[in-house]
């Protein structure tokens, strides 16, 4: 195996940093080989706030992934177990970005094609149109992260998904453009570079989570992906198979932990354990007589907390997050077109009774999204919603690798065709010149023979 066979997705989150290593197996299916994670110490609400702490966390997550055992079949089909670091070095990563600074907008672009009507619209024309969108004038301190085509218009003919091969002069496109702060992007690049890694691609986290959790049928019918992370809640709305709206809400699981800490007068670590082990998103689903006993600090007496009260604290904050989700759904204009409802993923999706609360509060069908939707086989870890973004980043990296190989292959094929044409032309020229030269000598020799014959006579 070569290092180029593997793709590493690096999910830089508020509570954890996950390094997920994947590849395509011999059947063309995506396979997750190793998952490494470490506590995220230098990230707040999806944005790097401490460079050195983030670097340490990235290195720890990558080292954890390299230390994992992977099973590889040899040429005889026998399975052998290796440490991942014995098989390859991890140098390049696909990184996710999120945070309150992320914004999205709709824009239409247009180019006039050069040449005659007989020439078809090519990939080069589409790339030219997309490159023009990257040159849009943005607000100071902002840059474009993604330009996602919605549909194309060729000579005023609308609703075209793929314009390649069509005849036309005027090529237009409707684009979903995602922007972010330059400083936030540069800080991520700086952290990864100083961790002895190289960023191959930077992707928006809700798009990565959507790739991992959503099926094509859901995207076609209309669906809202809600990724509840530690510091942010990411939203992506799909309809008719196309991304229509993206947003990042600066509220996540950490504020629920903070509310439990204040409401129950306990420390942060105890509040986090309470939330993950006994937390529920619906107060009505819990009994009055269920009580949890927490050890007191430094010899103080134990503290008893009602599970029902704990659930009411969590429900109040979750309803606040869902109110923001409802606002974004209405703001997108697709509120009445979402037949597939809502898919909740991320670490916050592990709360008990969360789908019931979402259905009650928003009034749409809801399911928990796990990142094994498109994988060949899934280990126990990969089915956890908290790894949705990392698995999605691996999928995006593999797709980009295939596109790059296809484009380089097309370029090589074009070069070979041009070289063959040039060789044919050279051969034709050589044959023509040799024929001409042969005719010249034949004519000359016949004339000399005639002249000698006349002279003799």
d(CA 205, CA 201): 12
| Exposure string for 125-136, b = 16+ CB within 10 A, e = fewer | bbeebeeebeee
Element (DSSP H or E) covering residue 314:
helix 307-332
In whole angstroms, what is the distance from residue 246 CA to residue 103 CA?
8
User: What SS3 state is found at 261?
Assistant: helix
Q: Report yes or no: 154 and 126 within 8 Å, Cβ to Cβ.
A: no
Our CA angle for 37, 42, 44, nearest 5°, is 100
Strand 7-12, strand 92-97: pairing = parallel
Divide the 457 residues of the chain into consecutive groups of 10 and give the mean pLDDT of each group: 74 92 83 89 88 94 87 70 77 90 91 78 90 89 91 90 89 93 93 93 92 93 94 93 91 92 90 91 86 85 90 94 95 92 93 93 92 73 87 92 78 52 53 48 58 57
Distances (CA, A) of 29 to 1, 25, 376, 395, 452: 16, 6, 5, 10, 84
The whole-angstrom separation of Cα 382 and Cα 387 is 7
Q: What are phi and psi of 93, to 5 degrees?
A: -135, 155
CB atoms within 10 A of CB 448: 10
Supply the pTM of this predicted model: 0.84
**CB 203 within 8 Å of CB 96:** yes
Structure confidence at residue 211 (pLDDT): 92
Sheet holding 103-112, edge to edge: 103-112, 170-181, 142-154, 157-160
**Among 101, 100, 94, 97, which Cα is nearest to 180's?**
101
Residues paired with 20 in a beta bridge: 9, 35
Cβ contact 229:98 at 8 Å: yes
Cα gap 325→302, rounded to integer Å: 38
Which of 314, 206, 326 lies closest to 253, judged by CA? Answer: 314
Record the tokens describing residue 345, joined without a space.
């993923």
Give the angle 98-63-19 at the CA atoms, nearest 5°: 30
CA–CA distance, 447 with 450 (Å, rounded to integer): 5
Smallest CA-to-CA distance from 100 within 44, 177, 39 is with: 44
Cβ-in-10-Å burial (0-12, 13-18, 19+) of 240 comes to middle
pLDDT score for 437: 47
- Measure CA 425 to chain center: 47
What secondary structure letter does DSSP report for 164? T
Q: Which helix (H) or strand (E) holds 371?
A: none
pLDDT of residue 419: 54
Phi and psi, residue 98, nearest 5°: -150, -170
Distance separating alpha carbons of residues 391 and 360, to the nearest angstrom? 30
* Buried residues in 167-189 as b, exposed as e (16+ CB within 10 A): ebeebbbbbbbbbbbeebbebbe
Question: What per-residue confidence (pLDDT) applies to 452?
Answer: 58
């Amino acid at each position: 195996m070569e290092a180029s066979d593997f793709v590493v997705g690096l999910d830089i989150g508020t509570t954890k940093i996950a390094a997920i290593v994947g590849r395509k197996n011999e059947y063309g299916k995506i396979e997750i080989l190793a998952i490494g994670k470490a506590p995220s110490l230098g990230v707040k609400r999806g944005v790097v706030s401490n460079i050195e702490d983030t670097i340490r966390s990235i290195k720890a997550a990558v080292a954890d992934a390299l230390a994992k055992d992977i099973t590889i079949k040899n040429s005889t089909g026998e399975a052998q177990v290796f440490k991942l670091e014995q098989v390859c070095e991890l140098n390049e990563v696909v990184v996710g970005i999120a945070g309150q600074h992320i914004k999205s907008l709709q824009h239409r672009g247009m180019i006039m094609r050069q040449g005659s009507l007989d020439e078809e619209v090519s990939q080069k024309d589409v790339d030219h149109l997309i490159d023009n969108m990257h040159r849009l004038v943005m607000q100071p301190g902002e840059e474009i992260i993604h330009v996602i085509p919605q549909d194309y218009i060729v000579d005023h003919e609308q609703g075209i998904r793929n314009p390649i091969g069509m005849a036309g002069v005027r090529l237009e496109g409707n684009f979903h453009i995602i922007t972010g702060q330059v400083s936030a992007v540069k800080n991520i690049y700086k952290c990864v570079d100083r961790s002895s890694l190289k960023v191959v691609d930077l992707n928006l986290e809700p798009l990565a989570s959507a790739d991992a959790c959503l099926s094509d049928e859901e995207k076609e019918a209309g669906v809202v992906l809600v990724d509840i992370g530690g510091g942010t809640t990411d939203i992506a709305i799909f309809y008719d198979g196309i991304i229509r709206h993206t947003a990042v809400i600066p509220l996540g699981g950490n504020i629920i932990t903070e509310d439990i800490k204040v409401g129950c007068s306990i420390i942060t670590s105890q509040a986090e354990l309470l939330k993950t082990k006994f937390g529920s998103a619906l107060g009505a689903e819990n009994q009055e007589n269920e009580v949890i006993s927490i050890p007191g600090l430094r010899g103080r007496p134990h503290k008893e907390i009602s599970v029902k009260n704990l659930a009411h604290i969590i429900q109040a904050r979750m309803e606040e997050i869902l109110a923001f989700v409802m606002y974004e759904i209405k703001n997108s204009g697709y509120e009445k077109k979402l037949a597939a409802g809502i898919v909740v993923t991320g670490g916050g999706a592990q709360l008990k009774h969360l789908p019931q609360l979402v259905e009650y509060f928003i009034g749409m069908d809801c399911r928990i999204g796990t990142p094994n939707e498109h994988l060949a086989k899934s280990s126990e870890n990969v089915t956890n919603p908290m790894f949705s973004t990392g698995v999605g980043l691996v999928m995006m990296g593999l797709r980009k690798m295939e596109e790059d190989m296809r484009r380089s292959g097309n370029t090589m094929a074009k070069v070979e065709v041009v070289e063959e044409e040039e060789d044919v032309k050279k051969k034709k020229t050589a044959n023509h010149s040799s024929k001409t030269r042969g005719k010249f000598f034949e004519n000359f020799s016949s004339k000399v023979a005639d002249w000698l014959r006349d002279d003799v006579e």
